[in-house]
């Protein structure tokens, strides 16, 4: 058996030495949000003149590391996040970060098979007394499969004493020390992004959704203002089983209130409040992304309630949730998996939520419910998987309905100022006749 303490010390190097291990044309996987080794990336950027065509892959940065906003890094590094957050959106507009958008359940195949990652560098927890390393609350869902993937890779563990250990089956998230080739030690607070406060529209939409949520349901909640409001509304329920890709801050007081009986999750977005909860609460089980984003696994939960957001829908129910026209805004994430998974659940319900209008750059109000999608629009979820589509003006039941019935239901949840125009436009398309609105 390996003397793990000796192995650890013999393979302990500095951050500068770790950065020097990277070569031109290497392909790197760096982990997920608070598990991304930002110090390593900054050290790597200092070497940019020595390096060319180094692919940097990760999921959703929560810290503005140097190369993300450094035009001089172009050509030296190719930055690709699996989901665009605020930082990646700004970088993408500068022509630095690349846009990538596929469902998360394919992430390991993307990283290891499509882009052939040959270096993994991610933050991990310190070894325990038996020489096993927990790969942390956000490393656990996204890194374990990549670490165990059979392709040859150099593995660098950045040991941060302030990382929280994932809760769940031991073998799912703990690896022996000799899984890693090198170690670097750091001791810093975990980065985070501020959480959006619910808007009046979020509150109205949440109130509609909650009319369909029952005691004992399994509930998926997204991030953002709507997700925060949904968790606040759940205080009136009992025995809620949270089954969700992303956990958010407002789950913590909800759990303390006794409304939640369990939390099964693959990550979080918020502040240190949710980090500590996921790392210490006995209610929590962390699972990998492939499980949490598999529609079949989601559908195994009876009474699964999926609540997701979108940016735009057309009158047949096609939804654009990741881009505004040709401009990528976020990513596919888990939207498709949960909306589809809920349809496979006994007693399942899914809710796709949107605000009915937006203002363009000139301040003109436009409808987010449109007769047909603009040219170049990216469809995130197809019309046939949606059950309920919700705006601040009501709930449209569209599941398994005819095209005509979908059109009539969706016009009713559009903003009143646009309903007549939508009717005229969709009638002109030949998909429905004026007399059909009288039936």
**Residue 288 shares a structural domain with residue 368:** yes
CATH number at residue 213: 3.40.1080.20
**Residue 60 shares a structural domain with residue 116:** yes
Residue that finishes a domain, picked among 123, 152, 186:
186
Residue that finishes a domain, picked among 134, 153, 186:
186
**pLDDT, tens only, 344-373:** 999 999 999 999 999 988 999 999 999 999
Say if 194 falls within a structural domain. Answer: no
**Residue 165 shares a structural domain with residue 211:** no
Measured CA to CA, the distance from residue 150 to residue 131 in angstroms comes to 22
Say if 290 falls within a structural domain. Answer: yes
Whether 321 and 311 have beta carbons less than 8 Å apart is answered as yes
Measured CA to CA, the distance from residue 74 to residue 78 in angstroms comes to 7
Measured CA to CA, the distance from residue 1 to residue 77 in angstroms comes to 40
- Determine the 3-state secondary structure of 187 from DSSP: coil
| 392-418: average pLDDT | 97
**Residue 25 shares a structural domain with residue 138:** yes
pLDDT confidence of 172, banded at 50, 70, 90?
A: confident
Q: What pLDDT sits at residue 100?
A: 82
Say if 226 falls within a structural domain. Answer: yes
Q: What is the DSSP string of 38-104?
A: HHHHHHHHTTGGG--SEEEEEE--SS--GGGG-GGGBTTEEEEESS--HHHHHHHHTT-EEP----G
CA nearest neighbour of 222 among 212, 209, 211: 209
CB atoms within 10 A of CB 281: 16
Q: What pLDDT sits at residue 105?
A: 78
pTM: 0.91
pLDDT confidence of 164, banded at 50, 70, 90?
A: very high
CATH number at residue 60: 3.40.1080.10
CB atoms within 10 A of CB 335: 25
Q: Which H or E run includes 309?
A: strand 304-309
Task: Name the token pair of 59.
Answer: 């999921």
Handedness of CA 176, 180, 183, 185 (dihedral sign): negative
| 49-60: average pLDDT | 96
The distance of Cα 257 from the centroid of its chain, to the nearest Å, equals 26
Residue with the larger pLDDT of the pair 100 and 209: 209
pLDDT above 70 coverage of the chain, percent: 98
Which residue do the tokens 């509150």 mark? 203
Q: What pLDDT sits at residue 326?
A: 66
Measured CA to CA, the distance from residue 112 to residue 332 in angstroms comes to 19
**Residue 244 shares a structural domain with residue 182:** no
Angle between helices 200-210 and 225-233 (to 10 degrees): 50
- Determine the 3-state secondary structure of 238 from DSSP: coil
Q: What pLDDT sits at residue 106?
A: 83
188-191 long-range contacts, CB within 8 A, separation 24+:
188/39, 188/160, 188/162, 189/162, 189/272, 190/34, 190/160, 190/162, 190/163, 190/272, 190/275, 191/33, 191/34, 191/38, 191/62, 191/63
**Residue 159 shares a structural domain with residue 284:** no
**Residue 316 shares a structural domain with residue 409:** yes
Q: Which H or E run includes 289?
A: helix 289-292
**Residue 255 shares a structural domain with residue 373:** yes
pLDDT confidence of 99, banded at 50, 70, 90?
A: confident
Q: What pLDDT sits at residue 149?
A: 87
**Residue 152 shares a structural domain with residue 235:** no
Q: What is the DSSP letter of 221?
A: E
Q: Which residues neighbour 347 within 8 Å (Cβ) at sequence distance 6 or greater?
A: 302, 303, 304
Say how many domains are in the chain: 2
**Residue 249 shares a structural domain with residue 110:** no
**Residue 98 shares a structural domain with residue 247:** no
pLDDT over 80 (residue 328): no
Distances in Å between the alpha carbon of 77 and those of 28, 61, 67, 196, 391? 10, 16, 8, 31, 42
Terminal Cα-to-Cα distance of the chain (whole angstroms): 76
Q: What pLDDT sits at residue 376?
A: 81
Greatest CA separation for the chain: 81
- Burial annotation 74-92 (CB, 10 A radius, 16+ → b, else e): eebbbbbbbbbbebbbebb
Tell me the residue range of the domain where 222 lies: 200-438
Which residue do the tokens 């969706």 mark? 410
DSSP H stretches of helix in 149-259: 170-173, 200-210, 225-233, 251-256
Residue that finishes a domain, picked among 186, 212, 247:
186
| 122-137: average pLDDT | 95
Q: Which residues neighbour 155 within 8 Å (Cβ) at sequence distance 6 or greater?
A: 119, 120, 121, 147, 179, 180, 181, 182
**Residue 391 shares a structural domain with residue 264:** yes
- Burial annotation 38-50 (CB, 10 A radius, 16+ → b, else e): bbbbebbbeebee
pLDDT over 60 (residue 411): yes
pLDDT over 70 (residue 51): yes
Task: Name the token pair of 372.
Answer: 């047909």
**pLDDT, tens only, 261-274:** 999 999 888 889 99
Q: Work out whether strand 54-59 and strand 77-81 pair parallel, antiparallel, or are unpaired.
A: parallel
Q: What pLDDT sits at residue 1?
A: 55
Least confident of 2-11, 157-166, 172-181, 332-341: 332-341
CA angle 228, 107, 95 (to 5 degrees): 80
């Amino acid at each position: 058996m390996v003397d793990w303490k000796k192995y650890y010390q013999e393979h302990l190097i500095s951050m500068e030495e770790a950065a020097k291990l990277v070569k031109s044309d290497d392909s790197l996987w760096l982990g997920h949000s608070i598990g991304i080794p930002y110090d390593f990336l900054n050290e790597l950027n200092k070497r940019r003149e020595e390096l060319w065509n180094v692919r940097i892959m990760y999921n959703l940065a929560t810290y503005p590391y140097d190369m993300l906003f450094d035009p001089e890094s172009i050509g030296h590094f190719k930055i690709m996040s699996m989901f665009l957050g605020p930082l990646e959106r700004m970088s993408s507009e500068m022509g630095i970060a690349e846009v990538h958008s596929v469902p998360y359940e394919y992430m390991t195949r993307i990283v290891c098979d499509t882009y052939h990652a040959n270096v993994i560098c991610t933050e991990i927890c310190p070894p325990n007394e038996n020489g096993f390393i927990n790969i942390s609350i956000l490393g656990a869902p996204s890194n374990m499969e990549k670490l165990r993937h059979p392709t040859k890779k150099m593995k660098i563990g950045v040991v941060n004493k302030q990382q929280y250990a994932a809760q769940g089956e031991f073998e799912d998230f703990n690896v022996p020390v000799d899984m890693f080739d090198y170690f670097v030690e750091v001791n810093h607070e975990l980065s985070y992004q501020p959480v959006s406060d619910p808007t009046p529209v979020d509150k109205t939409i949440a109130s509609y959704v909650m009319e369909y949520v029952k005691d004992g349901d399994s509930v998926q909640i997204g991030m953002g203002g709507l997700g925060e409001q949904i968790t606040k509304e759940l205080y009136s329920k009992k025995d809620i089983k949270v089954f969700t890709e992303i956990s958010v801050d407002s789950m913590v007081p909800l759990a303390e209130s006794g409304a939640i009986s369990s939390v099964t999750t693959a990550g979080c977005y918020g502040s240190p409040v949710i980090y500590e909860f996921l790392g210490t609460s006995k209610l929590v089980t962390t699972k990998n992304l492939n499980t949490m984003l598999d529609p079949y696994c989601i559908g195994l939960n009876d009474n699964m309630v999926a609540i997701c957001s979108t940016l735009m829908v057309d009158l047949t129910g096609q939804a654009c949730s990741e881009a505004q026209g040709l401009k990528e805004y976020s990513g596919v994430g888990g939207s498709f998996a949960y909306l589809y998974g809920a349809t496979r659940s006994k007693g399942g319900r899914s809710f796709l939520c949107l605000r009915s209008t937006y203002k363009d750059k000139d301040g003109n109000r436009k409808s987010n419910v449109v007769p047909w999608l603009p040219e170049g629009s990216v469809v995130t979820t197809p019309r046939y998987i949606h059950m309920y589509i919700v705006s601040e003006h009501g709930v449209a039941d569209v599941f398994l309905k005819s095209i005509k019935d979908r059109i009539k239901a969706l016009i009713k949840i559009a903003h009143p100022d646009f309903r007549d125009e939508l009717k005229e436009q969709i009638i002109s398309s030949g998909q429905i006749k004026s007399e059909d609105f009288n039936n």
